[in-house]
Amino acid sequence: MNYLRHTLLLGLLLLCGHVSALEFKQVLTNESSVTFFYKQIGVPLDGKFNKFAAQITFDPAKIANAQARLDMDVASIDTGSADGDEAVVGKLWFNAKAYPAASFVSTGLKALGGNRYEASGKLSIKGRTLDVVAPVTFQATGTRGIFEGGFTIKRLDYAIGEGEWTDLGTVANEIQIKFHIVVNAAPVKK
């Protein structure tokens, strides 16, 4: 009887869509992606981080406790061309030898209503750390949740592209970063 009640309750919670008794924290990296978009002499281009790690703790009922951390492997950047991949790890761009990882560490999450949130955090690239704010949506189906969001940085703020590459006429300053993070939930242990 007790068991039945529990199952019913869990079922009800799942149906409600608002799975408040679930904590989303198991990131499925293979289904997730971190991509970026930029312009080069007016040409829209994109790339992605082939390797990154994500740690997320998110309970829609307790967003004050939400935490997120993303570590991107800079050497895994895929620009879509061999020339670009080679250049981008170099000293002038990401200097991957000295700064192998770029990271985002959340500092707060605000609910904007519905499935919309606003995440703030610190973005560190190439030894420089700046505050960023990203609108995020969270969509859950059962125990599977998807975070979707993005923000725009100015590459020169992080010295991404030094020397001749500070010229913004070729590679634009604005780099849009988008993330799509798939997480599984486990019921919260009481």
The binding site for another protein (CB under 8 A) comprises: 40-45, 80-81, 83-84, 86-87, 164-165, 167, 169-171
Nearer to another protein, 78 or 118 (CB): 78
Nearer to another protein, 46 or 142 (CB): 46
CA distance 51 to 29: 9
Count of beta carbons in the 10 Å neighbourhood of residue 60:
21
- 């599984």: which residue's tokens? 184
Nearer to another protein, 99 or 165 (CB): 165
Minimum CB–partner distance for residue 158 and another protein (Å):
18
In the structure encoding, which two tokens stand for residue 159, read together? 């010295």
Minimum CB–partner distance for residue 39 and another protein (Å):
9
C-alpha dist (Å) from residue 119 to 86, 105, 108, 148: 32, 10, 6, 11
Minimum CB–partner distance for residue 176 and another protein (Å):
16
